Structure 1
Amino acid sequence: MTVALMWEARAVPGRGPDLLAWAEERARELPRRPSRREVFRAPQDRVLVITWWNAPLDADLPELPEPEDTLVTRTVHRWRFESLGSV
């Protein structure tokens, strides 16, 4: 089974590049390597990281931590999805 972990945060206005750099670094530092990893940015200084794992949906998998409060406007949003395949 393939599980996708999604991590999304919104930076304090003007700190988007800092949050992006922080997330990219933390994604590279995960204690285990996912089968795939992508980092995205969006308007309003949002950053999204998706990691794919060959594991059961409820597996204990490494996730990106919460950034320091001075970097984000709110708590990080996290989702876990089971892949149903690609088209």
Structure 2
Amino acid sequence: MMFWYDHDVSGWGLFAMSAGMILFWTLIITVAVLLFRTLNRSQEHTHAPATPSAEDILRERLARGEIDEDDYQRRLNALHAGPLTKP
């Protein structure tokens, strides 16, 4: 019977068990949060990026100085007129 009373948990043992439990739960919660973020992020990035419209491209070319305002207006009117068909 003396064996059971000889190995009690001292102050340092109690501290080590408490610190170990805190580290264990911190690790579990961190893994769960990272897993949740990873699964949530993969759904956000599955959408294909939007392609710019023809008007957006014309606007960008005008802003970069590749075309002047007259050329921009002429091309914009051609876009709004619809497809060119020969009679």
TM-score under structure 1 length normalisation: 0.22
Q: Give 1 or 2: higher strand fraction.
A: 1
TM-score under structure 2 length normalisation: 0.22
Q: Give 1 or 2: higher helix fraction.
A: 2
Higher relative contact order structure (alpha carbons within 8 Å, sequence separation ≥ 6) = 1
